[in-house]
Structure 1
Amino acid sequence: MPNKPVPLKAVTANRLREGDVVYLTESGLWTAWLNQAATSNDAAAQDEMLKRAEADVAARKIVGPYLVEVTEVDGILQPLSTRETIRAAGPTVRADYRKAPLVADA
C-alpha cells in the first residue's frame, strides 16, 4: 500500500492591529490572500515558517500563528477544514456592523 501524501501547510495568524486573518508569504510578509501564502509539505520547512512567524509575534505585528492544511486545486490554494474555509473567506458579519478601521495617528 503506497504512503499517504503529506498535505501542504501554510502559516496563518491574525494581524495585531486590525485582527484580520493573514498568511505568511515566501518573502516573509503577510497577506490577506491564501493563494499568496507560502506552502510546504516538509516538516523542517514548516518549522522554519513558524519561526519566521514567531519573530513577527515578538515584533507585535501578528498574533496566534499556526499551521493550516491546504490543498491546491487548479492552481488555487484551498483550506481543508471548514474553520479555515470560513477564515479565508473573510468576515462573517455584515459590513455595516463592522467597526470602522483604525486610523494611524498623525
Structure 2
Amino acid sequence: MKILTANRLTDGEAVWYAGGAWAETIDSSELAADKAAEERLEAIGAASFAANEVVDVNLIDVEIVDGVIHPLRLRERIRAAGPTNRNDLGKQARPTAA
C-alpha cells in the first residue's frame, strides 16, 4: 500500500493527502492499494505542486498494523512523528498523537 506525502509550501510542515485535502497527521491518509489508485494520487500531488501548495511530493510505502498506518521507511516514520531526540516536540507532542 502507498500514501501521498509532501511538505506544505507555506511553512514546511509535513502533510499527507487525506479526504480531498492535505492533513497534518498521517492517520487519515488516503490509501492506494493498486496502480490506478497510485496514479490518481500522483496526479493530485502534481496538481498541488503546480498550484504551489506543496513541495517534495512522494508516494510512500506503508503497512496497516491494527488499523494504524505505519510508514515502512525510518525517514517517513520520523516525518510522521517528529524529531527522534525530543518527544516533547513535533507531531508526537500534540495531545491528539498521545
TM-score bracket, shorter-length normalisation: 0.7 to 0.9
Following superposition of structure 1 onto structure 2, how do residues 1-106 of structure 1 map, counting pairs within 5 Å? 8-25=1-18, 27-91=19-83
Amino-acid identity (%): 40
Offset of residue 40 of structure 1: 1.4
Question: Which consecutive residues of structure 2, in runs of 5 or more, have no partner in the other structure?
Answer: 87-98
Question: Once the two structures are superposed, what CA deviation does each residue of 1:58-101 show, in whole Å capped at 9, x if it has no partner?
Answer: 1111011111011111111011111111111124576xxxxxxx
Residues 19, 91 of structure 1: alpha-carbon distance in 2 compared, 3 angstrom cutoff: farther
Offset of residue 41 of structure 1: 1.7
- Say which structure is richer in helix: 2
In structure 2, distance between residues paired with 1:30 and 1:11: 9
| Structure 2 counterpart of 1:23, one-letter code | W
In structure 2, distance between residues paired with 1:91 and 1:23: 18
Question: Which consecutive residues of structure 1, in runs of 5 or more, have no partner in the other structure?
Answer: 1-7, 95-106
Q: How many residues align?
A: 86
In structure 2, distance between residues paired with 1:36 and 1:90: 17
Residues 16, 91 of structure 1: alpha-carbon distance in 2 compared, 3 angstrom cutoff: farther
Offset of residue 13 of structure 1: 0.3
Q: List structure 1 runs of 4+ shifted beyond 6 angstroms.
A: none
